Each structure stands twice: as C-alpha cells, then as structure tokens.
Amino acid sequence: MTKLKLGPIADDKPVRITVELPAALHRDLTEYGRLLAEGASPVEPAKLIAPMLERFIATDRGFAKARRTLPNAPSA
C-alpha cells in the first residue's frame, strides 16, 4: 500500500472556481487519484485539488504563525 498524504475525500458543498493547470500537473493529479483509489474507481483530479490545498495550508507553519500574529485574522 502506498502511503499518501491525503486520506478519503470528504463530500462537501463546493464553491466553483476555474483554474488552468499545466498538462504535467494534470497528469500527476490523475495518477495520484488512481493511486489514492487503491483499485477502486479513480478519484477525479478536480476532487483532489481542494483537499491538497487544505492539507498544504494546514501544514504551512509560516502561514499558521502569521495568522496567529496578525490582528483581526479570520480563523479556520
């Protein structure tokens, strides 16, 4: 079993945005979705972007520190 940073993808009400991705990144997201599925139906690249960004922000120590030190910063 491959150890990936993302776990199961939560089904939540989305906010729609449009993003252009480099082709190489799209291929990597497609492969990541295939590996994350562990033999089941692959996870679509579009469903991976939000959890990946959430994980990135949650583990960014500089962002967390800045958020704590800035006055009136919205909390998560």
42 pLDDT tier (thresholds 50, 70, 90): very high
Q: What is the pLDDT of residue 2?
A: 65
Q: Is the pLDDT of residue 1 over 70?
A: no
C-alpha span between 76 and 65 (Å, rounded): 13
Q: Which long-range contacts (CB under 8 A, 24 or more apart) does 29-38 make?
A: 32/4, 32/6, 35/2, 35/4, 36/4, 36/6, 36/9, 38/1
Q: What is the pLDDT of residue 35?
A: 94
Query: Is pLDDT larger for residue 10 or for residue 34?
Result: 34
Percent of the chain with pLDDT over 70: 89
What is the amino acid identity at position 58?
A
pTM exceeding the 0.85 threshold for the entire prediction: no
For 14, phi then psi, to 5°, come to -85, 160
Q: What is the pLDDT of residue 39?
A: 85
